[in-house]
Amino acid sequence: MESSSDEEEQRTFVQVISEKYNPENFPYGQGIGVVILPRPPGSPVKDRLFLPSILVLNGCGIRKAGDRSDIATFCAHVVELDLSFNQINDWTEVCTIVSNVPHLDFLNLSMNPLSSVDLEPSMAEVFSRIRHLVLNNTKISWDTVHTLTQNTPELEELFLCLNGYNTVTESQKPCPSLRLLQITDNQLQEWAEVRKFGLLYPNLSTLVLANNSVDSVRDTKEALEHLFPNLCSINLNNTGLSKWEDIKRLNMFPNLKEVKAKGIPLLQSYSTQERRYLLLAQLPSIMLLNGSAVSVGEREDAERFFIRYYQDQGCPEPELSERYHILVSKYGHLAPLAEVDLTPTCAMINVRWGDRVERVSLRLEQTVGDLKKQLRALLQPPSNGIRLFYIAHEMCSVLGPEELKFGSRALHSYSIRDGDEILVVLKAKSRCSSSGL
């Protein structure tokens, strides 16, 4: 007799569906997207379910497919199938499932241990209808990848993340239908490997290379135009790019409109705004940078910043880039930006002393000590001195009065505004003075 652990290891696709969509779980005849099929007279199929079009069975311990006819009965209208985080390690089982889901468009096999055996080309025809294929962390070989793409004539999106690739194997038959390739978190380093994607997927429009160690973009304009004629978006986040020449070469992609380039060594020494402006100024055709749309005004600001940045650096004329000279011809040599201090210089406040209220114009650059002298001259209090409390008009119900204790502190540091109030309170006489000492 098999142990319970052995039974669990052999859990099938059909078994999991039967458990998850057991008719007893739907006492009124249907659940969300689940309908109990009427049983034809004499049919051996009892209480089978018509499943939702999007079927999520991730992390269910599935290792085998189960009965073909049961899969076909359950999945007649399934369009999307998520089998990630299961234990399927045999392509035969995958093919058995896929071949009996006639309308399958999206398949996620991520985190299944499929690396030990390659997919046989004779079995791969069952994938012909799939347009979206997710194979993250399956560690499958490039031979299997090519077998799949050669048998999916309508494939549009392919996900190959976390598969440990440090090289790319070419294929004799490209996949012209592919539009998006996401190959993040691999070990690609050389641009010579990346350029192979242009040969494999000649109509690629989105290439996601994030979290690879790719350290350059080394190609001629003619080569990039030939290899990536339709590339609109490239994600280079957390790659190894360290030279401005690599950023400039992105302009050689003829249709590139979106770039993501966060976390690259080249930009580590710059502030957030400097990074964006310096990138924008050197990528004149980009409409989206790091996920944010680029407005006409922002582009002009970036280009003017670029000119001033290199003027301030005092670079010798021969060392200035071609882009710098292009922008100078557009805007001319620019004067340094004047530093503008927006700190308020004065405020009209109310000074309250007992029942007396005086409207006072306050110079905010003066200190608390200066203000005390001004108010002594104005109010002429007794000689034992005064204490001052600041009351912000808009925040008085929240903050309450704040004592102005420090004679050397500038008034503008308290953010005093028009309409605020200064409360003047006489200092209490000390016991020594009251006793005549």
| 3-state secondary structure labels for all residues of 40-56 | CCCCCCCCCEECCCEEE
Q: Measured over all CA atoms, what is the biggest interatomic distance in the chain, rounded to whole angstroms?
A: 117
Averaged pLDDT of the chain = 87
Is it the case that residue 208 has pLDDT exceeding 80? yes
Domain boundary among 222, 243, 264: 243
One domain, residues 94 and 228:
yes
In a domain, 436, yes or no: no
Q: Checking phi first, is residue 268 left (phi over 0); if not, alpha (psi -120 to 50) or beta? A: alpha
Q: What is the DSSP string of 331-381?
A: H-S-PPPPP---S--EEEEEEEETTEEEEEEEETTSBHHHHHHHHHHHH--
pLDDT level of residue 111 (50, 70, 90 thresholds) = very high
Q: Is residue 422 within 8 Å of 350, Cβ to Cβ? A: yes
Per-residue pLDDT, 39 = 46
- Pairing relationship of beta strands 346-353 and 421-426 according to DSSP bridges: parallel
Distances (CA, A) of 236 to 191, 225, 273, 282, 342: 12, 19, 19, 16, 39
Question: Which pLDDT band holds residue 135 (cuts at 50, 70, 90)?
Answer: very high
* Residue 417 belongs to a domain: yes
154 and 27: one domain? Answer: yes
Question: Is 279 contained in some domain?
Answer: no
The last residue of one of the domains, among 243, 263, 289, is 243
Residue 368 and residue 222 share a domain? no
CATH code where residue 380 lies: 3.10.20.90
Tokens coding 3: 């142990």
| Block residue for tokens 């409390």 | 389
Indicate the pairing of strand 132-134 with strand 106-108.
Answer: parallel
- Predicted local confidence at residue 25, as pLDDT: 62
Same domain, yes or no: 219 and 359: no
Run of H or E including 273: helix 272-282
How many residues are there in the chain? 437
The reported pLDDT for the residue numbered 271 is 92
Q: Are residues 227 and 353 in the same domain?
A: no
Could you tell me the end-to-end alpha-carbon distance of the chain, in angstroms, rounded to an integer?
105
pLDDT band at 401 (very low <50, low <70, confident <90, very high): confident
Q: Residues 215-228: pLDDT tens digits?
A: 999 999 999 999 99
Assigned domain for 167 exists: yes
287 falls within a domain: no
Are residue 239 and residue 351 in the same domain, yes or no? Answer: no
**What confidence score (pLDDT) does residue 229 get?**
98
pLDDT at 43 over 60: no
The answer on 355 and 234 residing in a single domain is: no
Q: In the prediction, which pLDDT does 240 show?
A: 97
- Work out the percent of the chain whose per-residue pLDDT is above 90: 61
Last residue of one domain, picked from the residues 243, 269, 285 = 243
Q: Which residue has the higher pLDDT, 241 or 356?
A: 241
Among 316, 310, 404, 336, which residue's Cα sits nearest to residue 364?
404
96 belongs to a structural domain: yes
In this prediction, residues 371-399 reach a mean pLDDT of 80
Stronger pLDDT, 211 or 377, i.e. the higher one: 211
* Residue 159 sits in the same domain as residue 41: yes
Tell me how many domains the chain contains: 2
How many other C-beta atoms lie within 10 A of the C-beta of residue 28?
Answer: 6
Handedness of CA 359, 363, 369, 370 (dihedral sign): negative
Dist. CA 362–CA 348, nearest whole Å: 6
Which tens digit of pLDDT belongs to each residue from 319-355? 668 898 899 999 888 776 655 555 668 889 999 988 8
Rounded percentage of the chain residues whose pLDDT exceeds 70: 84
Residue 46: pLDDT band by 50, 70, 90 thresholds? Answer: very low
Residues 233 and 360 in one domain: no
Domain of 355 in residue numbering reads as: 346-429
Tokens of residue 137, six digits: 């962390």
Angstrom CA distances, 145 to 80, 95, 101, 200, 214, stand at 20, 15, 21, 11, 21
pLDDT tens digits for range 15-34 = 999 888 876 665 444 444 44
Which sign, positive or negative, has the C-alpha torsion 223, 227, 233, 234? negative
CATH code of 219's domain: 3.80.10.10
Domain-located, residue 321: no
What pLDDT is attached to residue 381? 82
